[in-house]
Amino acid sequence: MDWGSGTVQVEQHTLEYATWGPSPTVAPTLVLLHEGLGSLGLWRDWPAQLAERTGMGVLAYSRAGYGRSTPVNLPRPLGYMTLEATDMLGPVLDAAGVGACVLLGHSDGATIAGIYAGSVSDLRVRGLILLAPHFFTEPEGLAAIRSAGEAYSSGALKEKLARHHDHPDIAFYGWHDAWMDPGFIDWNVADAIDHWRVPSLIVQGDADPYGTLAQVHEVEERAYAPVETLILKGCGHAPHKERPEEVTAEIVAFCARLQAFEASDVVIPELT
C-alpha cells in the first residue's frame, strides 16, 4: 500500500483507501473506521482537517461491501463486527505499514475499534477515539434501525446511498438485516472493554436515536485504562458532523495528550 490513495488486497477483498498527512515513518497514524452505512468518501474533508490539526497521518478505507470496495455475500453473520476486528483490521494496518496509531471509529466502526483493542494484542494501538459506539443492543437502537429500513424501502435513502456505494443494497441490508435478526437481540461485546489497556475518548450525543448514554456508562464502569468522555447535549448519531468544531477540538487535545505521554519518561509497570 502506497501512502496516498488506491486499493489494497486483504483476504479475498479489494478495499479502497486514502491517506492524508505524514506517513507512518514520520508520525503516528489516526485510523478511521466508518459507520454501518459509511464509506471512505463519506468522511468528506474531515480526514484532511484531522491531519492538519493533529500533525498525525490519517488512514481511512471502505470495508468490504461498502463504498468502492468489493462486495460481500449476504446475509452477514451476526458477529460481523467481531470478524472485521479480528480478521480484517490488522491486515489493513500491516499493509499500510502503520506503526503507533490511534483507532478512531464511528458507530459500527467504533465498535470494531473497541473489539480490536480488547481482543487483539497489538502494541501499535496507543489510544481509542469512539464516536457513538455500541457494545450491546438497546430497544431504542433497534427501533431506529427498523425506521431506517422503512426509509430505504421508500427509495429516498437508497438513492442517497447509491451516490456513495457501488453496491448500496449490500451496504444497507448487510447492516440492517443483521440488526433486525431475532438472534441479534442478545448481541453483546462489552467484555472487550475489560481488556483495553490504552486510554480512550468516548463521544456521545444525548439525543442519539441509535444508542443511549448506557453505552458510555458501560465503558466507564468496565475500562481498566483511563476514559475521557464528551457528552453533547441535543446531538444525534454523528457528533463529528453535527458538532464538528467541538468534536475535532476534543480529538486534537486528546491526541496531543497521548503524544505528550509517549514523549515523557513515565514508565508503566507491567500488569501482574
Tens of pLDDT, residues 156-212: 899 999 999 999 999 999 999 999 999 999 999 999 999 999 999 999 999 999 999
Decide if 133 contacts 205 (C-beta within 8 A): no
Count of structural domains within the chain = 1
CATH of the domain at 69: 3.40.50.1820
For residue 28, what pLDDT is reported?
Answer: 97
Helices 168-180 and 139-154, packing angle to 10 deg: 150
C-alpha pair distances (Å), 95 with each of 59, 63, 81, 104, 175: 11, 14, 20, 18, 26
Q: Is the bond into 75 cis (omega within 30 degrees of 0)?
A: yes
Please check whether residue 267 lies inside any domain of the structure. no
For residue 265, what pLDDT is reported?
Answer: 60
In angstroms, the CA 99 to CA 158 distance is: 38
- What is the extent of the structural domain holding 178? 5-261
Please check whether residue 271 lies inside any domain of the structure. no
Please check whether residue 269 lies inside any domain of the structure. no
Ranges in the chain, pLDDT < 70: 265-272
For residue 21, what pLDDT is reported?
Answer: 97
For residue 272, what pLDDT is reported?
Answer: 43
In angstroms, the CA 11 to CA 82 distance is: 16
Q: What backbone phi and psi angles, to 5 degrees, belong to 34? A: -80, 170
Pairing of strands 101-106, 125-131: parallel
Please check whether residue 268 lies inside any domain of the structure. no
Q: What angle do CA 37, 252, 105 make, to 5 degrees?
A: 20
In angstroms, the CA 113 to CA 84 distance is: 9
In angstroms, the CA 50 to CA 62 distance is: 18
Please check whether residue 272 lies inside any domain of the structure. no
Stated pTM of the model: 0.96
